[in-house]
Amino acid sequence: MQTIQKITSDIYYIGSCDTHHHLFENIYPIPNGMSYNSYLITDDKTVLMDTCDTSVREQFLENLMAALNGRTLDYVFVHHMEPDHCATLDEVLSLFPQAQVVCNAKTQTMIGQFFNRDISGRVISVKEGDTLSSGRHTFSFFMAPMVHWPEVMVSYDETDKVLFSADAFGSFGITNECLFADQRDIEKDWLPEARRYYANIVGKYGPSVQTLLKKASGLDIQMICPLHGPIWRQNLPWLLDKYQKWSTYTPEEKGVVIVYGSIYGHTKNAAEVLAQKLSQQGLSNIRLYDVSQIDLSYIIAEAFRFSHLVLASITYNNGIFPPMESVLLALKAHNLQNRKIALIQNGSWAPTSGKLMSALLSDMKGIKLCNQTITITSALKPNQAEEIERLSIELLSDETSE
Ligand code: FEO
């Protein structure tokens, strides 16, 4: 049966949620599933806002037909050509041969790359600031390159003041049980997975997100319809503030994320002792993660959330413990900035992981390393307690060296 939901007088949610796959993009765990959003506007002309992933193809097509209720499809807006939104585009274009594709020039090229279909005779090519009317609604188009691919654009419904925001403002997780963000406890039920989605999917592209936020600030937006996650019709300033922080690499909270890579528990022990010292200084936001036990995407999200990081790694094959090296490379790849970081290295005969971690962090913008690096040779000794305490004090102090 169809699962469409009416969200305004003539805009329908026709997307669906995948709860079968364990990974999004074949890399990110999605324990709470994933929504693939699509919208249909039943104006004088019918407008489809993106298609969907193959995982929800059947439900999406049933929803599309139900929402059209016997009408034909006039326009398909393609905001983002990534297959989680476009895998079913070719099929929709076959079903509705008269439908016109509304997209920008880059998207048109990508459609040709993904599909063996010549759409040149049925494209309405749009640029920044162009408008298109479907009758009651007038849509304007804004380019949003690298949020998250280069061809991304968003569209703004000037009539109902709805922003169709592509990947921006999306999240991991399903929307089956409640489609609107205001139906949830957003701090508890939305924020962790939205932060993890943001940091890992578009975290690298903060300046591009900033450009989009500036464009959005000139619009009277009453509702945001992303391509993943719930629809926003309340608390928009709160949502925009999160995006402002994330896209400028500004920590949301003061706190320390301690990530350790440990084989026999000695580096873990040092991380725990440091956590205690930080706690004794009155810090309440302390998170300890065993790098071998948690997916990297959660660590990246926590690094975007908190102000301070501790990376504690054994030396392995004369290098950094491989899972910890992945964390460092990912922090770098996601362009994390403006954090204070302390390092702990362990090595039974030639500890080198600290120096190597420091080198990897050295060209990251706004990263301030503590002067001290704790070195453990096999196991932390009681006479190092003072050293750990000094590191905890330096980490939380304002005195830093770049
Ligand atoms: Fe949801 Fe970049 O695709």
Note whether 114 and 78 are within 8 A (CB): no
Q: How far apart are CA 74 and CA 80, in angstroms?
A: 19
Ligand 1 near 227 CB (within 6 A): yes
Distance 218 CA to ligand 1 centre (A): 24
Question: Which of the residues in the chain have pLDDT under 70?
Answer: 399-402
Sequence-distant (6+) residues with CB within 8 A of 263 are: 314, 321
Atom from ligand 1 closest to the CA of residue 36: 1
DSSP label at 263? S
Which pLDDT score is estimated for 401?
46
Ligand 1 pocket, 84 CB below 6 A? yes
CA of 117 to the centre of ligand 1 (A): 22
pLDDT value at residue 141: 98
Take residue 165 and report the two structure tokens written for it. 């925001």
**Collapsing DSSP states into helix, strand and coil, what is residue 156?**
strand
Q: How far does residue 355's CA lie from ligand 1's centre (Å)?
A: 37
Q: How many CA atoms lie within 13 A of 182 on its CB side?
A: 8
- For residue 207, the model assigns a pLDDT of 98
> Is residue 167 within 6 Å of ligand 1 at its C-beta?
yes
Residue whose Cα lies nearest atom 1 of ligand 1: it is: 167
Residues 6+ apart with CB under 8 A from 214: none
What is the amino acid identity at position 155? S
Pocket flag, ligand 1, residue 79 (CB < 6 Å): no
247: CA distance to ligand 1 center in Å? 17
Residue 167 alpha carbon, nearest atom of ligand 1: 1
Q: Whose CA is nearest to atom 3 of ligand 1?
A: 82
| Cβ of residue 82 lying under 6 Å from some atom of ligand 1 | yes
Å from CA of 359 to ligand 1 middle:
32
pLDDT of residue 345: 98
Q: Is the CB of residue 45 below 6 angstroms from any atom belonging to ligand 1? A: no
State in Å: Cα 167 to ligand 1 middle: 5
Gap between the Cα atoms of 341 and 259, Å rounded: 11
Cα 34 to ligand 1 centre (Å): 12
Which ligand 1 atom is the nearest neighbour of the CA of 152? 2
At residue 374, the pLDDT reads 98
Centre of ligand 1 from the C-alpha of residue 295, in Å? 20
The Å distance, Cα 227 to ligand 1 centre, comes to 8
**Closest ligand 1 atom to 170 CA:** 1
Q: Is 202 in the pocket of ligand 1 (CB under 6 A)?
A: no
CA 21 and chain centroid, separation: 18
Q: What is the pLDDT of residue 399?
A: 53
pLDDT at 398: 78
Q: Please report which helix (H) or strand (E) contains residue 114, including its range.
A: helix 105-114
